[in-house]
Amino acid sequence: MQVFETQTMEEMFEGLKISPAYKKYSEHNPVMIQRYGADPYALVYEGRVYLYMTGDDPVFDEKGDAKENTYSNINTINVVSSEDLVNWTDHGTIYAASVTGAAKWGANSWAPAAAYKNIDGKDKFFLYFANNGNGIAVLTADSPVGPFTDPINGPLISRETPNCAEVTWLFDPAVLMDDDGNAYLYVGGGVPSPEKASNPGTARVVKLGEDMISLDGDPLPIENVAYLFEDSGINKIGDKYYYSYCSNFSMTPEAEKERGFEQGEIITLVSDSPMGPFEHFSPVLKNPEVFFGLGGNNHHCMFEFKDQWYITYHSRILEKEKGYLGGYRSTNIDVLEIKDNAPAVSKGTKTGVKQVSYLNPYDEVSAVTMSNSSGIDTVQYGEEAIKCGSGDMVVTGISDGSWISVTGADFGNSDPFEISLKYKSRGTGAVRVSLDSPEGDVLAYIPIEDTDNEIEDTFVALEKRPGGVHDIFFTFVGKDYDLITWRFIK
Whether residue 10 lies in the annotated active site: no
Contact between 336 and 313 (Cβ < 8 Å):
no
Catalytic option among 172, 230, 231, 262: 230
Letter for the amino acid at 266? I
Q: Is 385 left (phi over 0), alpha (psi -120 to 50) or beta?
A: alpha
Answer whether 284's CB lies under 8 Å from 25's CB: no
Residues 404, 90 contacting (CB under 8 angstroms): no
Burial per residue of 193-207, b for 16 or more beta-carbon CB atoms within 10 angstroms, e otherwise:
eeeebbebbbbbbbb
| Residue among 332, 378, 341 nearest 483 (CA) | 378
What type of residue sits at position 336? L
Listing DSSP states for 109-145 in one string gives -EEEEEEEEEETTEEEEEEEEESTTB-EEEEEESSTT
* Range list of H helices, 211-357: 253-259, 288-292, 317-322
The C-alpha angle 308, 314, 318, rounded to 5 degrees, equals: 115
Is-catalytic flag, 415? no
Q: Classify the C-alpha dihedral 174-176-177-181 as positive or negative.
A: negative
- Is the separation of the CB atoms in 397 and 375 below 8 Å? yes
Q: CA-to-CA distance for 86 and 468, rounded, in angstroms? A: 18
Q: In what order do the strands lie in the sheet with 110-119?
A: 110-119, 122-130, 136-141
Give the CA radius of gyration of the chain. Answer: 23
Q: Catalytic residues, which ones? A: 39, 230
